[in-house]
Amino acid sequence: MHVDIWSDLVCPWCYLGKRRFETALAVFDHADKVEVVHRSFQLDPSIPKGVTLRTRDMLMRKYRMTEPQVIASQANLEQLAAVEGLEYHLAESHTGNTMDAHRLVHLGREQGIQDAVIERLFRAHFTENRSLFDKAALVTLGNESGLRGVEELLDNNRYEDDVVADHRQASELGANGVPFFVLDGRYGVSGAQSVEVFTEALARAWTHS
């Protein structure tokens, strides 16, 4: 069975959803027959490359929230993440254009280590407050995740069309946000749902595959 997961690397719900899905998959009887592919989705592709914004400021502007509201929302997210064994530090996080980071995930798929790459990038962003938005940072993180040829990749435009195509496909499937999961090409799950929802979705998709 095939599972596609669309996410953005600066989306805290995406890392949370990934972990909840993995928890469900770990107790799924046919887990060894499930292939997971991570797809790209840029929440804000309009941010110029090389520009970074404080996440808190971006959220205040985008959702018309006050700073205390954003602080409370981020604190809540940190608590939800902790329940899943994730350590979030959101107060000083920054955001930017994720095109190049997504290209590393595509390179990871080609080299058979896609999960290790996306996991490294998520952890770097949410736990370590490391940048995903400049070449030097991405070269270091790519090498740490086991990728080969990171610097060469970032010197060209390889996989940019694939990142755009992934986003377009998600939109065509009706996703206007992430995370977005499609099981067996037919069953969609939107958002960082509970482990129980993912468990039921896996069972249903397997039964009808």
Say yes or no to pLDDT of 135 above 90: yes
Copy the structure tokens of residue 23: 């928890």
- How does pLDDT run across 77-89, given as a tens digit for each residue? 999 999 999 999 9
Domain presence at residue 78: no
Instruction: Confirm if 144 and 120 have CB atoms less than 8 A apart.
Output: yes
Domain presence at residue 39: yes
Domain presence at residue 181: yes
The parent domain of residue 141 ranges over 2-44+98-207
Domain presence at residue 162: yes
d(CA 97, CA 77): 22
Per-residue confidence (pLDDT) for residue 143, from 0 to 100 = 98
Instruction: Confirm if 154 and 136 have CB atoms less than 8 A apart.
Output: no
Instruction: Confirm if 147 and 111 have CB atoms less than 8 A apart.
Output: yes
Question: In sequence order, which residues have a C-beta less than 8 Å from that of residue 134 and are 6 or more positions away?
Answer: 50
What's the number of domains the chain is made of?
1
The domain that holds 136 is classified in CATH as 3.40.30.10
Domain presence at residue 75: no
State phi, psi for 149 to the nearest 5 degrees.
75, 25
Q: How confident is the model at residue 1 (pLDDT cuts 50, 70, 90)?
A: very high
- How does pLDDT run across 94-124, given as a tens digit for each residue? 999 999 999 999 999 999 999 999 999 999 9
Domain presence at residue 165: yes
The DSSP symbol for 6 reads E
State phi, psi for 38 to the nearest 5 degrees.
-90, 130
Q: Return left, alpha or beta for 146; rule: phi > 0 is left, psi -120 to 50 is alpha, else beta.
A: left
pTM (global) more than 0.95: yes
d(CA 182, CA 94): 29
Domain presence at residue 60: no
Domain presence at residue 12: yes
